[in-house]
């Protein structure tokens, strides 16, 4: 079947009459995927309706790409196979000093899968997901099959939140607590689907401890040349830089125009290095992290039993489901992303990219973190995040259009 520039033609597809068992299938098994077992089979009856692929698939992809990704990289590509009525998801691994193992990329792919599942249900489909584990830079990660249903798929109460979900980097309303019934709802939504584990802390002393840990981690981040360059290279300070619809637009940093101007001033590493040396600029900048975390009503921690790549994909599915539930509850969420990326790296003990002093500090912070949250070295750390009541951003981060990420039955 010929590929297209980014559209799907209006050809109608008649789905064959059969019953479908919705389950997760594990293929090309290796150590990364052995921790998963298939979900309980669930039988559905096919309606046999003819489906307008162009309309349905385009809508689903528009929802899929609203998933979060580190620095708004959007490391995904989709290929539709019309004959099998399936969608292949390819991931593009990132060359990242902050995240050399691409943990964030795997989590993002999981979030995409969850959005597809919810969007497909809204369009009258059930889905089954087949997972792949490959090591290539651009590789097939998952294959999703669609089947038309007579009944509504679960999770549809979250569908309207897909295009509302956003990272809120502004301070939250202090002293406004999250009601117990909402906390219980979030705990259930964040862990029930793919067996992730979710912990919340609301005690102000513990929140302050996490704020101090996050501040010290950011001191290292702002004081490291490679991390500084990577971070600032992903921020767009002009409309021209935002043209590819990837990366972080300055408007979404929650800094205001004066803060954005100051950030652009700090972009050259030589200038930042000079300021770090004479006025400890990295410590001053990390103070903003401290006060942001301290303003939180609660701190959440989502993690997996193990830390395989497959666990991070599954964790990404649960993360997106949780984030949509947070949005539905009228709350705001911001990942404290550098914490877990750094902690996952120091688990390696050798060749992790940190200096001797940075290793010493981070290991000490990691041990303190483990006294606050129930975590061990074998666990996969998906996300630490702050949650609370805040003022929403007026604009969402840009996403690439469907025509740039969707092709028909061709190699990526």
Q: Are residues 188 and 147 in the same domain?
A: no
Residue at a domain's end among 114, 134, 163: 163
Q: Are residues 93 and 213 in the same domain?
A: no
Q: Are residues 283 and 338 in the same domain?
A: yes
Q: Are residues 201 and 149 in the same domain?
A: no
Residue at a domain's end among 163, 195, 223: 163
Q: Are residues 252 and 154 in the same domain?
A: no
Q: Are residues 100 and 195 in the same domain?
A: no
In a domain, 361, yes or no: yes
In a domain, 101, yes or no: yes
Which pLDDT does position 157 carry in this prediction? 87
Strands 24-26 and 125-131: parallel
State yes or no: pLDDT of 100 exceeds 60.
yes
**Average pLDDT for residues 69-78, to the nearest whole number?**
89
**Which residues does 26 contact at the CB level (< 8 Å), separation at least 6?**
33, 36, 38, 130, 131
State yes or no: pLDDT of 330 exceeds 90.
yes
Which pLDDT does position 125 carry in this prediction? 87
Q: Does the predicted TM-score (pTM) go above 0.75?
A: yes
Q: Are residues 42 and 139 in the same domain?
A: yes
In a domain, 411, yes or no: no
CA–CA distance, 162 with 167 (Å, rounded to integer): 12
Which pLDDT does position 270 carry in this prediction? 96
In a domain, 4, yes or no: no
The enclosing H or E element of 13 equals strand 12-14
Identify the band that residue 63 occupies on the pLDDT scale cut at 50, 70 and 90: very high
Q: Are residues 353 and 307 in the same domain?
A: yes
Q: Are residues 145 and 236 in the same domain?
A: no
Give the CATH number of the domain where residue 86 resides: 3.40.109.10
Which pLDDT does position 318 carry in this prediction? 95
State yes or no: pLDDT of 5 exceeds 70.
no
Domain that holds residue 291: 180-388
In a domain, 397, yes or no: no
Q: Are residues 151 and 235 in the same domain?
A: no
Give the model confidence (pLDDT) of 122-142 as tens digits.
988 888 999 987 665 568 899
Residue at a domain's end among 163, 195, 214: 163
Strands (E) located in 100-154: 125-131, 138-148
Give the CATH number of the domain where residue 374 resides: 3.40.109
Q: Are residues 115 and 208 in the same domain?
A: no
In a domain, 76, yes or no: yes
State yes or no: pLDDT of 283 exceeds 90.
yes
Where is pLDDT greater, at 353 or 71? 71
Q: Are residues 156 and 21 in the same domain?
A: yes
Give the model confidence (pLDDT) of 337-349 as tens digits.
789 888 988 887 6
CA–CA distance, 11 with 31 (Å, rounded to integer): 41
- Per the structure, the count of domains in the chain is 2
In a domain, 274, yes or no: yes
In a domain, 1, yes or no: no
The enclosing H or E element of 259 equals helix 256-265
In this structure, what are the phi and psi dihedrals at residue 145, rounded to the nearest 5 degrees?
Answer: -105, 145
State yes or no: pLDDT of 225 exceeds 70.
yes
Q: 378, 367, 383: which is closest to 209 by C-alpha?
A: 367
């Amino acid at each position: 079947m010929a590929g297209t520039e980014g559209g799907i033609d209006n050809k109608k597809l008649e789905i064959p009459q059969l019953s479908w068992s919705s389950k997760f299938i594990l293929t090309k098994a290796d150590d990364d995927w052995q921790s998963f077992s298939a979900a309980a089979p669930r039988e559905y009856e096919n309606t046999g309706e003819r489906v307008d692929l162009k309309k349905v698939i385009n809508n689903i992809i528009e929802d899929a790409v609203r998933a979060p990704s580190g620095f708004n990289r959007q490391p995904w590509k989709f290929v539709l196979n019309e004959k099998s009525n399936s969608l292949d998801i390819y991931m593009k691994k990132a060359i990242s000093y902050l995240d050399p193992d691409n943990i964030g990329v795997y989590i993002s792919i999981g979030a995409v899968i969850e959005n597809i599942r919810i969007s497909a249900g809204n369009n009258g489909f059930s889905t089954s997901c087949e997972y792949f584990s490959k090591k290539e830079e651009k590789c097939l990660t998952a294959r999703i099959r669609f089947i038309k249903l007579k009944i509504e798929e679960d999770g549809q109460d979250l569908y309207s939140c897909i295009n509302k979900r956003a990272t809120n980097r502004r301070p939250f309303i202090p002293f406004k607590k999250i009601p117990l019934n909402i906390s219980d709802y979030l705990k259930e939504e964040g862990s029930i689907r793919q067996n992730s584990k979710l912990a919340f802390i609301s005690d102000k002393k513990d929140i302050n401890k996490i704020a101090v840990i996050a501040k010290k981690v950011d001191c290292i981040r702002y004081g490291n040349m490679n991390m500084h360059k990577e971070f600032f290279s992903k921020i767009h300070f002009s409309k021209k830089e935002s043209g590819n619809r990837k990366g972080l637009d300055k408007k979404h940093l929650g800094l205001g125009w004066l803060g954005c101007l100051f950030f652009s001033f700090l972009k050259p590493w030589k200038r930042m290095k000079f300021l770090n040396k004479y006025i400890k600029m990295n410590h001053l900048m990390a103070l903003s992290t401290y006060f942001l975390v301290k303003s939180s009503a609660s701190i959440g921690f989502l993690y997996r039993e193990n830390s395989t790549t497959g666990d991070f994909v599954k964790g990404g599915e649960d993360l997106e489901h949780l984030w949509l539930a947070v949005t539905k509850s009228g709350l705001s969420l911001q990942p404290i992303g550098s914490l877990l990326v750094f902690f996952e790296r120091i688990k390696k003990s050798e060749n992790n990219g940190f200096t001797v002093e940075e290793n010493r500090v981070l290991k000490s912070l990691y041990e303190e973190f483990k006294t606050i949250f129930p975590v061990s070295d074998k666990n996969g750390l998906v996300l630490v995040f702050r949650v609370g009541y805040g003022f929403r951003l007026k604009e969402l981060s840009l996403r690439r259009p469907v025509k740039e990420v969707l092709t028909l039955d061709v190699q990526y």
